[in-house]
With several copies, the nearest count.
Chain A
């Protein structure tokens, strides 16, 4: 097993990887940009190296500096997390050349599945249904226009290099195509350093269902069941769950088999995700392989009792995958909510600034994967994801209740977050009854405004704070003379 791993990422996923390493007795080296010297992943690592300026291209996408940092620190392996260099096969190859283990698939398999167009060609050899689409990234507007006509509108613009909704745009009519392609290319460039995009038939009212896979270097491969990630805003997943409320045993078996077949056919190793769209007739289409750990991996971990990040590290170090398909089981239900620094009442504008105070939810079945703390300053340079809140429950309904309670216990003060919005999604009748399609948000959450059920209490607290604060020292209140509280007993028991 490795003695030291460099983590080429930031935020909650870097923290998640550090936790896994610590439990495996592996020392961790964090890298950071100049804007991230106070980031949680830096504070939690054993060592830290600042690799460049705030812009991702200067730091988290800067292969030279990251490899240099690995060399200096004596790391034996690099965990890329998700995003940034995670699906960059050139980076994976360069790690290999420098004698570093890249914790992910090999560069060839990564290149194959990462090129969505090439991978569809490969997979045509096996019986995995794919969505009609372009055979290669488009080179000119004319080419896009012709392909779109052939595929038939509506079409989806997708980044060749990417995932996570970055670079994805719908064009419903020929008139929308140019702007959608341009926007997709810009976002793809910013997010992945590669502006290639292609077109695909847009399946309407689908569910997004994906299968987690694990494959070692000894020919063993399993799937670890599905996640449904249909609740998306602008093609960005915001709530994920496992199992899918739509799934039945037959469909699960067929899709799981397809996922493992994809892994085997592409020679894929380590953890990955095979994404599908499923239409209302339970027909499923292969979408793409995400060649990395995913944001939503915790729901699989909670439902199946596996530790995917530890398995990534074990597989990369050459260990055998000891999980057997027949022994894997789903138990209960897990949900994940992504907590973003966005203002849902104001067009989801990114919210920057200092988190003056925060408090994570706690309790049985509640897990928080977080990259923030009280006093942390959210900067403009990176993804607005602050943390992920994951809950497990015996049934889907108990998981939903628990999530609502956990969200209502989540305190982040100083910036707007998506917490109140997520609470309203979680309590929506269509969500509760499992009517989760990818158009859920568009259909059910138009013109969202924040509830103000506790406005009076908030006004009271603000006003009273000024009174109490003028009396109390800066530190916590302690042995105050007669606090209003001290009348509680008499007040209740006396019935006054």
Chain B
């Protein structure tokens, strides 16, 4: 049985077989023989290469959260990840022109108006949550096509704040 997991920006294939009470796993191009069991619904004990590991697991919002020795992994199936990320601010391609709220919060400041010209790195807006301000900067130089929110407005994570249009002359390759 193969599963493709998304961890951050990376995809990982995991092939899982069960054999004589053990799991045979192929991941990152290596094969592992693993013994595992759920101690409680949130706690899995694993034995890999004679070594015991405690993995703590929870599921929510279509993702699996796993903690092992203080490291925290968020795993999702690629389809679900795409659905979850739909519309959330992206560093690549089209997303670079859409300035979205990185978290729920309130819009403290909008530094630009429609039709303003902006340079890569310019601060376009400031969003606040948990009493911390986060500046949103232009990933490309361009022109402000649309400002979708007002100062003081409450926004959700991923909500579109500002739309840019790349300047025809200044188009860069990624």
Contact = CB atoms under 8 A, between A and B. Distances in A.
B112 interface: no
A349 B38 contact: no
A480 B38 CA distance: 10
Given A47-B50, A413-B65, A460-B23, A476 B41 contact: yes
Given A353-B61, A465-B64, A183 B133 contact: yes
A458 B70 contact: no
A451 B71 contact: yes
Contacts of A464: 16, 23, 25, 34, 36, 44, 46
Contacts of B5: 459, 462-463
B62 to A, nearest CB: 12
B45 to A, nearest CB: 5
Contacts of B134: 347, 349-350
Contacts of A457: 46, 48, 53, 55, 68
A488 B46 contact: no
A382 B57 contact: no
Contact of A411 (B45, B56, B73, B104): B56
Interface stretch (B78-86, B123-131, B162-170): B123-131
Contacts of A469: 38, 41
Contacts of B53: 454, 457
Nearest to B157: A352
Nearest to B3: A463
Contact of B70 (A186, A419, A462, A475): A419
Nearest to B44: A461
A459 B12 contact: yes
B75 interface: yes
A443 to B, nearest CB: 22
A410 B65 contact: no
A452 B40 CA distance: 24
Interface stretch (A244-252, A282-290, A373-381): A373-381
Contact of A462 (B42, B57, B130): B57
A458 B37 contact: no
Contact of B16 (A417, A463, A486): A463
B121 to A, nearest CB: 14
A36 interface: no
Contact of A356 (B14, B58, B72, B73): B58
Nearest to B76: A462
Interface in A175-205: 183, 186-187, 190-191
Interface in B105-134: 105, 108, 128-134
B131 A382 contact: yes
A7 to B, nearest CB: 13
Contacts of A456: 25, 27-28, 30, 32, 48
Interface stretch (A38-46, A300-308, A433-441): A38-46
B90 interface: no
Interface in B6-57: 7-8, 12, 14, 16, 18, 20-23, 25, 27-28, 30, 32, 34-42, 44-48, 50-57
A267 interface: no
A468 B137 CA distance: 45
A384 B132 contact: yes
A454 B40 contact: no
A412 interface: yes
B66 A462 contact: yes
A44 B80 CA distance: 34
A43 B47 CA distance: 10
Nearest to A477: B38
Given A38-B39, A42-B52, A477-B38, 5 more contacts: A456-B25, A459-B7, A459-B25, A475-B41, A488-B47
